[in-house]
């Protein structure tokens, strides 16, 4: 059998098949099921700072995008960041990583555009034993209106500054999730690199 072991920016996993940050990675029960099914890693559903949880949309959270002939072109996830308390997520992340040390576990994060909240949540995530963090500068709905997500991802200077803050605060690998909602992805990519993204 072929060896599918993967090393991505220092994060090791038994195979390159990971689940992205989305409803299937929003809680311990789901992530454990994913690992038992053979997934090599997950990016935990995007966490926000302490405080009242985000109120998510109710009802259907996915929308279909159809072509002119009604051919399914894609799906759109309209769910926001996690609506579960930060401390619950952190406790579950620590538990899962303890029980599945060979699986990759990256935590997606989105907090306000201030150095203090980024540094605080980074230290809390690092204490869980997670393998790395994803800075969610990509989501274009719900959080951008609050100055987060793609509102950051569309301004290369912000990307560089926030990435630099995070890299100075933690030792784990940092992935920057960029938004496709920009005219030239090379500028934000260069900014993430300049800020120290792995």
Give the integer Cα–Cα distance in Å for 161 and 113: 10
Question: Given this model, what pLDDT does residue 1 score?
Answer: 81
Annotation marks residue 113 as catalytic: no
Please pick, among 43, 109, 139, 176, the residue that the annotation labels catalytic.
Answer: 139
Kind plus residue range of the DSSP H or E element containing 72 = strand 72-77
Give the mean pLDDT per block of 10 residues along the chain (198 residues): 95 98 93 98 89 63 85 79 87 98 96 87 96 88 62 88 94 94 94 97
Report pLDDT for 123. 93
Q: Which residues pair with 22 in a beta bridge?
A: none
Q: Give Cβ neighbours of residue 107 (< 8 Å, ≥ 6 apart).
A: 43, 44, 47, 93, 125, 128, 130, 132, 133, 134
pLDDT of residue 16: 98
Q: What is the pLDDT of residue 181?
A: 85
Domains of the chain and any CATH numbers? 6-194 (3.20.20.70)
| pLDDT score, position 142 | 59
């Amino acid at each position: 059998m072929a060896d599918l072991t993967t090393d991505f920016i220092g994060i090791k996993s038994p195979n390159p098949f990971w689940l992205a940050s989305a409803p299937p990675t929003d809680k311990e029960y789901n992530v454990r099921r994913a690992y038992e099914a053979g997934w090599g890693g997950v990016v935990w559903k995007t966490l926000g700072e302490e405080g009242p949880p985000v109120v998510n949309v109710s009802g259907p959270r996915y929308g279909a995008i159809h072509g002119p002939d009604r051919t399914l072109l894609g799906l759109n996830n309209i769910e926001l960041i996690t609506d579960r308390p930060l401390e619950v997520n952190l406790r579950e992340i620590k538990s899962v990583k303890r029980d599945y040390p060979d699986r990759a576990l990256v935590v997606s994060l989105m907090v306000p555009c201030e150095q203090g909240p980024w540094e605080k949540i980074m230290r809390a995530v690092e204490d869980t034993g997670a393998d790395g963090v994803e800075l969610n500068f990509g989501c274009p709905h719900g959080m951008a209106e609050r100055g987060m997500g793609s509102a950051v991802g569309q301004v290369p200077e912000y990307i560089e500054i926030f990435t630099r803050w995070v890299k100075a605060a933690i030792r784990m690998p940092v992935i920057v999730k960029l938004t496709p909602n920009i005219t030239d992805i090379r500028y934000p990519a260069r900014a993430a690199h300049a800020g120290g993204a792995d």
